[in-house]
Amino acid sequence: MPEQRELVSLAADLLGVLKHGRRRLAVAESCTGGLVGHLLTEVPGSSDVFVGGAITYDDHLKQQIGVEEKLLEEDGAVSSAVAEAMAAGIRKRSGASLAIGVTGIAGPNGGSEAKPVGLTYVAVADENGVVSEEHIWQADRSTNKQLSAQAALRLALKRVRETSV
Q: Would you say 123 and 87 are in contact if contact means Cβ atoms under 8 Å apart?
A: yes
User: Where do the structural domains in the chain lie, given as residue ranges?
Assistant: 4-163
Total-model pTM: 0.97
Distances 18 to 38, 62, 147, 161 between C-alpha atoms, Å: 17, 26, 22, 9
How much is the pLDDT for 165? 56
Low-confidence residues of the chain, pLDDT below 50? none
What CA–CA distance (Å, rounded) separates 113 from 27?
Answer: 29
Torsion of CA 139, 143, 149, 153, to 10 degrees: -90
Query: Tens digits of per-residue pLDDT, 48-71?
Result: 999 999 999 999 999 999 999 999
- On whether the 4-163 domain is CATH 3.90.950.20, my answer is yes
What CA–CA distance (Å, rounded) separates 11 from 143?
Answer: 17
How much is the pLDDT for 5? 95
How much is the pLDDT for 22? 95
